[in-house]
Every structure is written in structure tokens, then in C-alpha cells.
Chain A
Amino acid sequence: AQTVTQSQPEMSVQEAETVTLSCTYDTSENNYYLFWYKQPPSRQMILVIRQEAYKQQNATENRFSVNFQKAAKSFSLKISDSQLGDTAMYFCAFMKLTQGGSEKLVFGKGTKLTVNP
């Protein structure tokens, strides 16, 4: 079974600075997908970024980028120029590629990020 570990339960950063959230995972699969989801106080789950394991290039979305190290099974999220609206729980998630159709997300326990003014 796949497991996802987020070793930082809480982090804080000053507005406009850069912060990196860690995520490691355990799997014997070769084809899979990794995600970072954000959950602000509103409770809504919002996709931040997605990475395909077969792609060596790290995914980026504006101020959000990942450092994907497949051999090390590491998938960290870097947030540049942090904004107050980035305050949220951040969940790392793993999805394996199957032929079955439905693809479940396996989540880490989350990192609570606070951006301070």
C-alpha cells in the first residue's frame, strides 16, 4: 500500500518570502501521479499543482513549483513570494495509474502553513 508522509505539521513564513513544504511517499509502482492540494479555512479543497512521475521536468504553476526526486521518492512544494491568501493546510497526495478507471488519492496528514504579515 502506498503511504504519504508530510513531516512538518506546521510551518510559518513572512509575507513575500519563500517556503518549502516537504513530502515523501512510499510505493513500488513506476507510473503514478503526485498532487498538492490546498485547504484554506473555507474548507474547500483546491488543486495547487500536479506532477506525472514519468516526467523529469518539475511542474510549476505561477508562484508554486515542485522539486520531484523520483529515486528519493520526494515531492516538495515551493511557494515563492508568499501571500496572506496562501495561509492554508497543504496536502500532498499520491495517485497510482491503473486500468480500473477510478483513481483514488492517498493523502498525507497535511502541513498547516501560516503566512504572517
Chain B
Amino acid sequence: DTAVSQTPKYLVTQMGNDKSIKCEQNLGHDTMYWYKQDSKKFLKIMFSYNNKELIINETVPNRFSPKSPDKAHLNLHINSLELGDSAVYFCASSQYGPYEQYFGPGTRLTVT
């Protein structure tokens, strides 16, 4: 059973489009995250939710909007895609507190 799953794994789209990435975890965790890994492999937090409440919102363009319908799901919607949005987006989850974060397989987004 996959602990943290993301769909799709690959996404190729054109500039200006709107796209969504979905994330689900079956670990019973309270907290979920979105990280972005750029072309140089640098990983940076974007958002985190705890029990459907937005807790961390780093300096991310407001074209990015996370949504958590319940604590097992955290989706990422991106409006008006730009070339610089091309990256791998990782979803992660953890128990409340300073515990291991379990990562999904990542979604490679390519904007052309």
C-alpha cells in the first residue's frame, strides 16, 4: 500500500494553463506539506497544513493555491503557469510535531 501518493507523476503543459496536483496519505497523519525541488535539486517548503488548517505559507506566488478537503488530502492548484514553475513537486506528511516526514513520489511538472 502506498503511504503518500501523488497524481499525476508527470505533467506537461503550456504556459498560461491552470493545473492541479493531488496528494493523498493513508498514514493517519495530521500534517501535510508541499515542497518544490528545482532543476538544481534544491528542495524548499511551499505550504503545510495541519488538520486542514494552513500553517506554513512560504513566499510563494499567489498563483499557487493549496486546498485540503480533509486531513488525508492536500491538493495544489497552479494558475497561469509560467516556465519557471517547471520543477518536481513533492507532497509529504507527518505526525504532529518534529517527526519524520514521509514523501510522495513527486510530480514532475514541465511548462513549455
Contacts and interface: CB of A to CB of B under 8 A. Distances in A.
Contacts of B103: 44-46
B98 to A, nearest CB: 5
A107 B43 contact: yes
Contacts of A50: 100
Pick from A91, A102, A106 the residue with the most CB of B within 10 Å. A102
Given A47-B100, A50-B100, A102-B49, A109 B56 contact: no
Interface stretch (A16-24, A79-87, A93-101): A93-101
B50 A101 contact: yes
Contacts of B43: 91, 105, 107
- Residue of A32, A45, A100 most packed against chain B (CB within 10 A): A45
Interface in B41-88: 41-45, 48-50, 55-56, 58, 88
Contacts, number: 61
A101 B41 contact: no
Contacts of A47: 100-101
B9 to A, nearest CB: 9
Interface residues of A, number: 25
A105 B101 CA distance: 9
B33 A104 contact: yes
A33 B56 contact: no
Contacts of A44: 103, 105-106
Closest 10 CB pairs between A and B? A45-B103, A102-B55, A102-B48, A101-B50, A104-B45, A107-B43, A33-B98, A103-B98, A43-B106, A47-B100
27 contacts: A32-B98, A33-B98, A42-B105, A43-B106, A44-B105, A45-B90, A45-B103, A46-B103, A47-B100, A89-B41, A95-B98, A101-B30, A101-B50, A102-B48, A102-B55, A102-B56, A103-B31, A103-B94, A103-B98, A103-B99, A104-B33, A104-B48, A105-B45, A106-B45, A109-B41, A110-B41, A110-B42
